[in-house]
Amino acid sequence: EPWLCVFLIPYLLVVFVGGIPVFFLEVALGQFMKQGGISAWNIVPLFKGVGLASMVIVFFCNSYYIMILVWGLFYLVHSLAETLPWATCGHSWNTPLCTEFFGPAACHNGTNNTDPASNCTDLAGKRSPITEFWENKVLRISGDLGEPGEINWQLLLCLLTTWVIVYFCIWKGVKSTGKVVYFTALFPYVVLLLLLVHGVTLPGAVNGIIYYLKPNWSKLAEAQVWIDAGTQIFFSYAIGLGALTALGSYNRFHNNYFLSWTLLCDVGWKTLSEADAGVGAGASPFNRHFSSLVTKGGEDQFDICIELAGLPKVCSDWLLCTGADRFMDDVARMIGYRPLPYMKWCWTVITPAVCVAIFLFHLVNYQPLTYSKGYVYPWWGEAIGWALALSSMLCIPCTVTYKLLRCKGSLRQRWRVLTEPVWGQHHLEYLSPDAELKLLPLEPLAGAPPTEKATLFETVI
């Protein structure tokens, strides 16, 4: 966008009030609890539904994100041909509207160009071979959502191949996956560096850089710019999905992850806008980086699979129950010092307020879903989308209601029991001696009188 330079201002602001604090929080929770999935919510058993909601979301992410790898592999295989299939017309998937003379070079001098095929007037309504390869060959878009169309067997084969590759990359656990990530995480930066060197040497590169750096301050007054910044932060940092918590659970208890966390966040926001390119950009003759797309997508797919295997999701609810100060003390036990005070205020006030503002903005400005600014999805398609969204949201209130009904005692006693952390045996060597009193015994003592009037039923939910 021409206002991308100004976009960095709200982007960086949301990084410091939303991205970095929650990134730190999720890694800290995983490292402290050393549990994955729903079990990590022993820190506040009442909100185990948040873990369930996260697993539902990650299940959907696993279902669609794998297609990015599939498309990358599909393009990578076709790029091995002597002539790129998306560079020329005349293929079985091309239409009469396809033209190879498409782009600014074809419109040189406008209508004064002597080549009639390159006349800008003649290009009206034409389609590039890149677009037709993507829509007609790769996607095989049907006329309506109610028309599923035929199975693309080539894509199906790529899908099976991709799942096999992902399986063998993660089948021995996250430690073996870490060796694969050495390549998948670093290779995109090599590609970005090569593209940067190539880009700055092209004619007119200086004008493009000046255009990029020229700020349009009026954009700061638009709410959409701030909402886009917040949405992009939570998406790019994988906040709220549980990947950071799941990966943090593999750290040593006393691992000081503060430096690595700071470095990762700093590098992440600096390279995001350059590395976040989709298949549409990959199909362009000027951006052929399918191998980078496959490796970067594979790295993200590994994390998503790890989340699905063990996924706690972080929200501010359990901090309000367990206490931000107490969790700050828990972090101090791990890294040797308390985090910055602004972290606590972000966890309990600022970050939740930012999330609520983003949610309300999207709710107020909701518009029916469209494809390519032309096709409007039918009402039943919208209903399916809302059902998928609510399938994760409803996990939280349903689980809270279920646990309150299953727990015996007064409402006050139920609340106290369900919001009390349930420590695991692995915390004995790290916590203070009085923490042993909070541990649930593995087996009840025979003949021991009951000490609680409220009974906590520990189940999968």
Q: Given a cut of 90, is residue 43 above it in pLDDT?
A: no
The closest alpha carbon to 100, from 138, 126, 139, 137, belongs to 126
| pLDDT tens readout for residues 259-306 | 666 666 555 544 444 444 444 444 443 334 444 444 444 444 444 443
433 Cβ partners below 8 Å, 6+ apart?
Answer: none
| pLDDT tens readout for residues 316-364 | 444 544 577 888 888 888 888 888 888 888 888 888 888 888 888 878 8
H helical segments located in 323-378: 324-335, 341-345, 351-364
236 annotated ligand-binding residue:
yes
| pLDDT tens readout for residues 119-173 | 555 666 788 888 889 988 998 888 888 888 888 899 999 999 999 988 887 787 7
How confident is the model at residue 38, as a pLDDT?
73
Residue 223 or residue 68, greater confidence = 68
Residue 428 or residue 46, greater confidence = 46
- What residue ranges do the domains of the chain occupy? 4-84+148-395, 407-461
d(CA 361, CA 364): 5
Contact at 8 Å (CB) between 380 and 386? no
Which of the four pLDDT bands, split at 50, 70 and 90, describes residue 103? low
Judged by average pLDDT, the poorest of 9-23, 181-195, 414-428, 442-456 is 442-456
Q: Given a cut of 60, is residue 412 above it in pLDDT?
A: yes
Max mean pLDDT range (178-192, 364-378, 388-402): 388-402
Residue 186 or residue 73, greater confidence = 73
How confident is the model at residue 157, as a pLDDT?
95
The closest alpha carbon to 165, from 155, 185, 180, belongs to 180
Q: Given a cut of 70, is residue 206 above it in pLDDT?
A: yes
CA dihedral 86, 91, 96, 102 (to 10 degrees): 20
